[in-house]
Structures are given as structure tokens and as C-alpha cells.
Chain A
Amino acid sequence: MKTIIQLHEVEKQFGQQTVIPPLSLAIAEGEFLTLLGPSGCGKTTLLRMIAGFEQPTSGEILLDGQPISQVPPYKRDMNMVFQHYALFPHMTVEENILFGLKMKKVPAAEQQHRLEEVLQLTRLGELRRRMPRQLSGGQQQRVAIARAIINNPKVLLLDEPLGALDYQLRKNLQLELKNLQKNLGITFIYVTHDQEEAMAMSDRIAVMNRGVIEQLGTPQEIYLRPKSLFVATFIGENNLFRHRDAILAVRPEKVKVYKMASGGEQPRRTGRIADIVFLGSLRKIFIQLEAEETTVLAHENGDADPVWQIGERVGLGWAAEDEVTLPC
């Protein structure tokens, strides 16, 4: 696959502080790549360097093979969807969407043609004469996307575009965005701190911590085979056990809880049930271990009969292939 964006040893310092130590990353054409990490991990700074709002302290960024570090943002062939949308408050929806084409002096006929296309795609036709303040959060977000994609950018940068919306709307828009990306075939670089969002949409996820990409891989790789302690704990829930010089991570859905009396299989750990939380589709069981100062979390199907008593002594087991060994 063709590389559309290449970061080569890109480094960023603010004053004396290094926010991003030298970092390299290749992003393929047409892929949905997510930069995932807690706030302050450098993901937004990285995105802003790609967009051109921040200058790398050293290193080079290539767009389609061309170095762009010295190119101002308004000459870069990519567009950004801002966290708070940044719609122009004094322009209608239509004027907002047409802004990019007007600035580039695209012929009026083509402007209209592309406007209709984008309005259709984002279902904004009926709202075209409204002002941004008359729109709901979800509608504003669609305008922000329409305003960006009408320019046919090579790459679309999205800075937590769903962050300000409520939970249900976010779920729906995740799917919409994913479909839009597939249909347009544009490369998406998506920044979020929400791991569920990253899992639901991305082709690949770059998990960032303190300016470093800890792991780069598909959602499955990131979830099932985390390479560091940070990735194992940041993505989903995990049980950690000390094992000689390493740490073992076992996902809660892989942990089996046994009655002690049943005999037969030798449990890997023993403990007492500390708490049970019912969440609908699943039941969370917290087990306080006897030998270690650790609480283990196990998931059980929500529709299974509740058989556990708080305080009951139980055995825990899991398959060897479900263990992930992590360096300390």
C-alpha cells in the first residue's frame, strides 16, 4: 500500500520540555488511523504538526513524498475537523461549507456542484440557510465535516470530533464517520482519548503515552496482544499478576470462577468474592485473592443464573494462551 504521510524522526519541544521525543510513523493511503492516549500524551500536538499549526523542533513530515515542514497550513492539501468545530459564527451553513472553495477561487459552477454533493452526503440540505448557533451539536459536527471534505483533501485530520457530544449520539456518529471514510476513500487521522471509539472505527491504532507510540497495530492486536503494561491497562480492563521478572495480564472475560468443592481442576489462584456488579449484558465479579494483595475481575454472562455469594471462597482459572506476558 502507498504511504500518504510519513513522519520521520519528528520531535517537538515547548521551551525546555520535550513533548514528543523523535517519532517515526508511516500512514497508508485510505486508512483510518487513530492516535489514542490520555490527555497530555502528545496526540493533539502530533496532529497539529501534521496540519501545520505547530512546527516540529526537528525531523521532517512528508505528504505524498513531499516534505511539508516549511509549508504553511493554508497550502497543505489536508483539512481538519476541530474539537469544538470552529464554525464561522457569522456565516450560514452553506457559506461555511463553501469557504474553502471560495478561498481557493474555484469556479462558481463547480462550487455549487460540489456543495450539492456534500450537502447530500452529510444530509444537511434542509439546514443550508441556518446559522451555526441555530444547530444542535451533532448538526454542527456534520457541518464541520462537510466544510472539510468539500475540498477533497488527501488526508482528513479529526481532533476529538465527537468529544462534545452525548453518549448515544456519539455511538451513531462513530458508525457514520466510519462509513463516510470507506465511501470517500480519504485517509483519516483521528485523535481521541476514548478507547472504545478507537476500537470501533480504526483500521490501525497508535497508542500514545508521554509522546511515545507504545504500540501500533489493529484493534485486535492492541486488545489481545498488548506489548506494554500501559497498553494492557489503558485499553479495556485487565488483571495483572506478578510472575517472576514479568507481569502476566489476563482479560476479565478469560477468567473462569470455580466452586472450591467441585475438585478436579487445580485452580491457578484462590480467593473470596468481594463484590458482584450486574451491568445487563454481563456481570462483573470481584475476587479478593488470598495469597496476594490483588483484586481480580472476572466477567460472566449477564443472563447466567446468579450462583455466587459475597464472601464465598472460589478458585480462579484461565487458559495458558490467554495469558499475555509483559515486561515490567
Chain B
Amino acid sequence: MTGKRSRLFSAYGWFVLVFLYLPIIVLMLYSFNQSRINAVWTGFTWKWYLSLLENRHAMEALANSLTIAAWSSLLATLLGTLAALALHRYAAGVKAVLNGLIYLPIIIPDILMGLSLLVLFSQIGMSLGKLTMIAAHVTFGISFVVVIISARLAGMGNELEEAAQDLGASPWQTFRHVTLPVIAPGVVASLLLTFTMSLDDFVISFFVAGPNSTTLPLYIYGLVKRGVSPEVNALSTLMIAVTILLLVAAEVFRRKGMEKEPGNSLIM
């Protein structure tokens, strides 16, 4: 009875995994397909990846993506870390309200964020371009940074900082020699995570991108309108690979030094 049931459960589990990953795997496979038509497998090739390298528009989109991701992850991590440090010192009542407000962007639909940012930028007369893209990506990135850094600060507690002060460290020395090194893995994880999120964002970027700030997801969307080519598959495969790599690195850093608190995995 129980054996039958557990087999049923494991079959269901496999079904869910296939459901989730089959489309992605098919997409990756066809990026190595010789045929220009997605439906038939005719043999293995690297040529789509090579032609991608020679494609000026694709390379420009890649450069845009990297610039925007670098700046927005740096700014979001800096601002988010400072916000988390401030929240850590607030009294419980104020903290709950501020926390709620900071976490809200995580659950607000992207399309609303994008639309509201577009309205804001046009109201204040900012022309759309890299700057508006960076501002938008910083806006949604901060929330995630605050979540990560706050968790580390909560895990650290007050005792370490008190011990430092007790041993004669001024508030700045305490931050420099104790607080910062202890939250450092969280800061690195935040950088990697916000970089990835900026790299992958489509919906918000769609609203606030200008003519010279087309990122990879926007470029892929533009290509798809003219039919899904193996080049698109190749580009998507590369993006998936980079994203997975960065997320794994972020998770490794986030967990570093947190071994004492099990069950802390980041569910997103």
C-alpha cells in the first residue's frame, strides 16, 4: 500500500520536473541543430553560436545588458545594505512598517512597476535610456538586497557588535572590523543576485528602455517577432547558463558562514 503510494508520488515528482524543464531542454537542444527549422533534428553544430558572435546587434545588446547589470547591482547592493543596517537598529514597531514597505516591490506585479516607473520618468522629463534602465533595476533590486542582508544581521545578533564596543572599538571600528566582515558573504550574494535579476529582467525593462539601451531579453523578444531562429535558441541557452552559474554562486556566498542556521535556503 505505502509502496504503491510512494511510487505514485515519485512519478508525480518526475512529471512536475519534466513539465518545468522540458521546454528549456528542447530550446537548448535545438540551439545545436543544423537545420534552420526548429521542428526537425538534422545534426550537431556550433554555427549558431559563431554567427551570434558576428552579429553586431546581439553584441551591442550584450554590452548594454552588462553595463546596466553592473551599475544597477552595485547601486542596489550599496543602498540595500545601508537600508538593512538602518532597519537593524530601529525599534520593533517602526521596523515592521518599514520592512513591509521595503518588501512590497517583491510582490508588486512587474507590469505595474514598469508602468509606474514609465509614468514617473515621463513626468519628470527624463528621456528613456540606460539611466532610466539602471534606476528601474536598482528599484526592484534593493528589496532583495534588504532581505538578504537583514537575514545575516539577524543571524549575527547584537552580541558581536556589543563585544567589539566593549573591547574599545568605536562605532566606526565596530562596523569596519566586525559588522562588515560578518555580512560580507551576504553583500557578495546580493551583488550576484541583483546582477542576475537585472540581466534577466524583461517586463520592467520593456517599459523604461530607450532606443540605445536594448538589453538581451528585449533583443530576443524583437527577434522572436520575426520567428524563432536557432540563433535565438543559442542566445537563450547562453543566458540560462550564465543565470544558473550566477545564482549558484550567490547561493554559495549567502550560505557561507550561515552553517549554524539550517533551513535557510533562498526560495524564490
Contact = CB atoms under 8 A, between A and B. Distances in A.
B173 A103 contact: yes
B162 A73 contact: yes
A88 B162 contact: no
Interface string B166-197: 11111001100110011000000000000000
Contacts of B170: 74, 103
A100 B167 contact: yes
Contacts of A79: 166-167
A104 B168 CA distance: 6
Interface residues of B, number: 18
Contact of A86 (B160, B168, B181, B257): B160
Contact of A99 (B159, B169, B257): B169
A12 B181 CA distance: 34
Looking at A79, A80, A103, the one whose CB has the most chain B CB atoms below 10 A away is A103
A72 interface: yes
Interface in A71-88: 72-75, 79-80, 82-84, 86-88
B156 to A, nearest CB: 9
B87 interface: no
B167 A82 contact: no
Q: How large is the interface on A (under 10, 10 to 19, 20 to 34, 35 or more residues)?
A: 20 to 34
A88 B165 contact: no
B163 interface: yes
Contact of B166 (A51, A84, A89): A51
Looking at B164, B167, B178, B182, the one whose CB has the most chain A CB atoms below 10 A away is B167
B182 A103 contact: no
Interface string B148-168: 000000000001101111111
A99 B165 contact: no
B167 A90 contact: no
A53 B177 CA distance: 19
Given A73-B162, A82-B159, A90 B181 contact: yes
Contacts of B160: 86, 88-89
A82 B162 CA distance: 9
A279 B20 CA distance: 65
A151 interface: yes
A99 B164 contact: yes
A89 B165 contact: no
Contact of A74 (B159, B166, B178, B182): B166
B159 A103 contact: no
Contact of A73 (B159, B165, B182): B165
B167 A147 contact: yes
A151 B168 contact: yes
Contacts of B167: 74, 79, 99-100, 103, 147-148, 151
Nearest to B184: A90
Given A86-B159, A103-B173, A74 B257 contact: no
Nearest to B181: A90
Interface string B36-72: 0000000000000000000000000000000000000
Looking at A51, A73, A104, A151, the one whose CB has the most chain B CB atoms below 10 A away is A73
Contact of B257 (A52, A53, A82, A89): A89
Interface string A107-151: 000000000000000000000000000000000000000011001
Contacts of A82: 159, 162-163
Given A99-B169, A99-B177, A84 B162 contact: no
Contacts of A87: 163
B162 A103 contact: no
A22 B163 CA distance: 27
Given A74-B169, A99-B169, A90 B182 contact: yes
Given A74-B170, A99-B177, A86 B163 contact: yes
B178 A88 contact: yes
B89 to A, nearest CB: 14
Nearest to B185: A90
Interface in B231-254: none
B188 to A, nearest CB: 14
B25 to A, nearest CB: 41
Interface string A91-104: 00000000110011
B168 A53 contact: no
A42 B241 CA distance: 57
Nearest to B158: A53
A100 to B, nearest CB: 4
19 contacts: A53-B162, A73-B162, A74-B165, A74-B166, A74-B167, A74-B168, A74-B170, A75-B168, A82-B163, A84-B159, A86-B162, A88-B163, A88-B178, A88-B181, A89-B257, A99-B164, A99-B167, A147-B167, A151-B167
Interface of A: 51-53, 72-75, 79-80, 82-84, 86-90, 99-100, 103-104, 147-148, 151
7 A-B pairs with least C-beta separation: A100-B167, A86-B163, A86-B159, A103-B168, A103-B169, A74-B165, A73-B165
Interface of B: 159-160, 162-170, 173-174, 177-178, 181-182, 257
Given A74-B174, A82-B159, A89-B160, 16 more contacts: A52-B165, A53-B162, A53-B165, A72-B165, A73-B162, A74-B167, A74-B168, A74-B170, A75-B168, A86-B159, A99-B167, A100-B168, A103-B168, A103-B177, A147-B167, A148-B167
